[in-house]
Amino acid sequence: MANKNLTSAKRAKNDEFYTQYADIQKEIAAYLEYDYDVFRGKVVYCNCDDPFESNFFRYFVLNFKKLGLRQLITTSYKPSPIAYTQLELFERDETPSVSKGRPKITANKFIINTVHDIDGDGEFNLEDVAKQLKARKQNEWMPLKGDGDFRSPECIDLLKQADIVVTNPPFSLFREYVRQLVGYNKKFVIIGNMNAITYKEVFPQIKNNQLWLGNGFHAGNAYFFTPNTRDFASGVFDAKTGLVKFRNVCWYTNLDHGRRHQPLPLMTMAENLKYSKHKEIKGKKAYEKYDNYDAIEVPFTDAIPSDYDGVMGVPISFLDKYCPEQFEILGATESEGRGFSNGLWDESSKVSQPLVKGQRVYKRIFIKHKRETI
DNA sequence: CGGAGGTCTGATCATGGTCT
DNA sequence: AGACCATGATCAGACCTCCG
């Protein structure tokens, strides 16, 4: 067990990817558009965010009044690399050390209760925050006792005080992270890999409409800033901008937003097949029954027919377009097919990956039209 | 030709059962 | 109990194809 924690922590250290300000702004805007007061009177906690670097911290401080926050709590996991400091809060040497002989910079905790223009330059900005924090009136800044791991007791105590968690957690710890959030019954807006949809911790919640995808990155292409430039192949890392490109990245949330309630425009089966070969769309078998599932194969989200009332298997990226008023989610193939058989959700099912005429297809989610029934 | 959408591997690690 | 093996689950990526 101890060993497991060690390896996790080691891995987490490599998870140094900073979300861009514009991406956070765009995502939060989607929730505000749906309900302008979602954040009003709320305690927001960013528990994987170094305030020295984090754009989450920056966003929520700068929009503290506009959102009507009650409090913003931020904790970091690891020491800040000195090179990328946005917030020139303190001389680095002033930073209290945990113990002698160890690096002076440690995991930090920031608690913001109030923000206002303190230096009288007519606008509120990060300089004001720095001054307020230095004065240690109303707002708090202190090192954490431990390493700032989101699972540590002091971070869990802070989590308990929070209403909404917003952050970009280490992907390698995503399952544990979600499990903790759900366990403490928190609202959240977090970033994860699209494959996490199929996780045992995640999919059942999606199915029950307790969790869904957020507004999202443009086309699932997310660009994160990273100081670890050497770990990436060219094409993935852009030296000019310092950004790493990731495919298939999305926001996971249980806050509602408008796009989620827009039904996907659909065509009939015949219309979808019109310009393609019989039973094929873009060279893929379409609308055939699976060999091992009581459902038909729909190879593209675009190709979901408007006129089929039975169970349909669709790619996981369908969830980005999922509108709960339009469709019902029945199950998924999960990894190697656990969880669904004979048209029903079944935990003990051991059915293998979906096959169409003996050919294996990728992971599928099983959905059905919601119809006005008599 | 670049953006959007979907699918692809096999290395790697966790887990669980069985053999000394 | 600990070593060893079989199986399951995952992937802060890589690649391919279609389309305008």
Interatomic distance A177 CA / B12 C1' (Å): 21
What residue type is A113 in one-letter code?
Answer: N
Which residue type sits at A365?
Answer: I
Is the dihedral angle over the CA atoms A253, A254, A258, A259 positive or is it negative?
positive
The whole-chain average pLDDT of chain A stands at 72
Task: With beta carbons less than 8 A apart as the criterion, state whether A167 and A46 touch.
Answer: yes
d(C-alpha A317, C-alpha A248), whole Å: 9
What are the tens digits of pLDDT across the range A127-169? 777 777 677 667 777 788 877 888 888 899 999 999 999 988 8
Spatial distance between the Cα atoms of A67 and A36, rounded to a whole number of angstroms? 8
Nearest to A286 by CA among A278, A298, A275, A276: A298
Residues in chain A: 374
**Which nucleotide is closest, CA of A48 to its C1'?**
C12
Distance A232 CA to B8 C1' (A): 19
- B/e letters for A85-95, b = 16+ CB within 10 Å, e = fewer, are ebbebeeeeeb
Residues 338-367 of A with CB under 7 A from strand B: 360-362
pLDDT score, position A160: 94
Measured from Cα to the C1' atom, the residue closest to C18 is A282
Residue A230, both tokens: 């050497």
Q: Closest Cα to residue A34, out of A179, A196, A212?
A: A212
Extents of the domains making up chain A: 2-259, 269-369
With a cut of 50, list the residues of chain A below it in pLDDT: 1-14, 80-104, 233-235, 335-352, 374
Q: What is the pLDDT of residue A72?
A: 94
Q: Give how far Cα A271 sits from Cα of A125, A304, A318, Å.
A: 55, 11, 20
- HEC profile of A84-139: HCCCCCCCHHHCCCCCCCCCCCCCEEEEECCCCCCCCCCCCCHHHHHHHHHHCCCC
Q: Which of residues 291-330 of A touch strand B (CB under 7 A)?
A: 299-302, 315, 317
Give nucleotides in strand C with any atom < 7 A to a protein C-beta.
8-15, 17-19
Amino acid A197: pLDDT = 77
pLDDT of residue A162: 95
Q: What is the pLDDT of residue A167?
A: 87
Task: Convert the pLDDT of each residue in A21-31 to its tens digit.
Answer: 888 888 898 89
